[in-house]
Amino acid sequence: MRFEAPLQLRDQAAIGDQRQEVRGHRLAGVARAAIQVAQNAGLRIQRQAVPRVDPPGFRTEHREQAEAFYAVHSERSFYGDLCEYMSSSPVVAQVLEGENAVALHREIMGATNPANAADGTIRKQFGLNVQENSVHGSDSPENAAQEIRFFFGDMDIVG
């Protein structure tokens, strides 16, 4: 059975006033490495989106998107910090395809806390701490379908 899993990658180096060229370069490196890990695990990238950065309003627009995406956590103590972090620089959103893609992707992401993540996982390589762990992945096929619609709308996802 085929499952799809959305993937969000964050540029850990893109905090504060760093110039866009630096952010874009770092994000590209994280994305390339994560793509390689996913492909080595047998997952295929079906769709990818890299939002453009339009300076005025960028932070506000992306903060609103982060708040909508993580609304399920709105009552949790970390919600505000999570939304601030996720809107501090661009993300790469991907749809991954493969047998048991959600479970497999969670395995290659690694533990939420990068300090506890296995060697070779995305979070071990790029995560800074529990909150700034570089990657988000769906926890179920049902949530994957919802999260894919969030980033890609109702368009058909094709390979």
Q: Which residues are catalytic?
A: 136
Structure tokens, 71: 């609304």
CA–CA dist 34, 126 (Å, integer): 9
Instruction: Give the burial string for 12-29 (b: 16+ CB within 10 Å, else e).
Output: bbbeeeeeeeebbebbee
- Per the CB < 8 A criterion, the answer to whether 5 and 105 are in contact is yes
Distance of CA 68 to the CA centre of its chain: 15
- Gyration radius of the chain over CA positions: 15
Please report, as a single letter, which amino acid is at residue 138: S
